[in-house]
Amino acid sequence: MENKELVSLQLCFICRTESTGILLQNKNMNKPRLESKTIGLEVCDKCKKKYLSKGVLLIGMIEGLENYGKKPKTPTGNFIVIKDSAFKKIFDFEIPKGKIGFCDEKILNKIQEDSQRK
């Protein structure tokens, strides 16, 4: 591939070692990153089998810095995998497709505290 510098390896969100694919970077980017690695919001097949076969991955989100009047949500990198049954107990909606959900960091912390107490 010619434009190698425009490619970055996307790593699994859970184990952060397995690749989940290649991320193509914008050609107009000022500083293309060489052989960079990015933590993606996807999960590799190994982790899918290990964790998501029985549970749901919840990724913590916080409100980012205000940008043109909008506050985008940004993933914190904090996460928990909870059992399908626990998800249904905590949340009032269906298990998300692909079994990856995003939730407010504060709610995530609460779930983590509760799960440690058991």
Provide the greatest CA pair distance for the chain: 53
Minimum separation from the CB atom of position 1 to Zn ion (A):
24
Least separation in angstroms between residue 67's CB and Zn ion is: 31
By DSSP bridging, strand 55-63 and strand 19-24 are unpaired
Contact of 25 with 12, CB cutoff 8 Å:
no
Asked if 18 is part of the footprint of Zn ion (rule: CB under 5 A), the reply reads yes
Q: How far is CA 70 from the centre of its chain?
A: 21
Q: Using CB under 5 A as the criterion, what x/- string covers residues 28-57 for binding Zn ion?
A: ----------------x--x----------
Residue among 21 and 72 whose Cβ is closer to Zn ion = 21
**Cα separation of 14 and 11, whole Å?**
9
Closest to Zn ion by CB, 12 vs 52, is: 12
Rank residues 91 and 102 by Cβ distance to Zn ion and give the closer one. 102
